[in-house]
Structure 1
Amino acid sequence: MSEEKKQNIDIEINDQVSDGIYSNLAVINHSPTEFVVDFIQMMPGVPKARVKSRIILTPQHAKRLVNALAENVRRYEAQFGEVKEQQSTAMPFNFGPPGEA
């Protein structure tokens, strides 16, 4: 049985990226070869929402992201308590129709 070796990666982040981008809506679409996630910022009283960032992932990386997010939510809830899903009349995160990218 072989042991998996963990690889250390030196990651850099510039000041602009480290500030982050606020998003309160995500639209997810996919094709046979990629997932496209648009992070959107909707402001109250403004009829037009703006895509603030677009991330394009392979299906394998999309699945890894889903698993990593689930694990981090589990850890968060273990430390801070259950995250309750907010019921709202605003648009929820959108998992767009299959096959569109």
Structure 2
Amino acid sequence: FILDFIAVMPGVPKAKVAKRMILTPDHAKRLSQALSDNIKRYEDEHGPINTREKVEIPMYRGPQPEA
């Protein structure tokens, strides 16, 4: 599993990968469970997180080769 953290700058047409994490399936599942547990605890204390409207984010197609 690959997690790319992308820097998007206003006015710049191309986003750039700032950091990349490569996870084993085991670690990806552990990360998913940790996020779910922490979101549940947060919502138990502060109320539900409102997910407003759907934000259209274009699908990232992976790194492009550079010459």
Scaled to the shorter chain, the TM-score interval is: 0.7 to 0.9
| 1:79 Cα offset (Å) | 1.6
SS in 2 for 1:40: strand
Residue aligning to 1:46: 12
Instruction: Describe the shift of the 1:59–1:89 C-alpha distance in structure 2 as closer, same or farther (beyond 3 A).
Output: closer
Which structure has greater helix proportion? 2
Cα-to-partner distance string for 1:17-71 (whole Å, 9 max, x where unaligned)? xxxxxxxxxxxxxxxxxx1110112233321111111001100110111001000
Using the size of structure 1 for normalisation, the TM-score is 0.51
With CA pairs under 8 Å and 6+ residues apart, which has the higher RCO, 1 or 2?
1
Match of 2:28 among 59, 62, 66: 62
5+ residue gaps, structure 2, are 62-67
5+ residue gaps, structure 1, are 1-34, 97-101
Q: Secondary structure at the match of 2:3?
A: strand
Identity of aligned residues (%): 49
Q: TM-score, normalised by structure 2?
A: 0.72
The Cα shift of 1:80 comes to 1.7
Residue of structure 2 equivalent to 1:99: none
Aligned residue among 44, 47, 63 for 1:78: 44
Bigger CA radius of gyration: 1
Work out the number of aligned pairs and report it.
Answer: 61
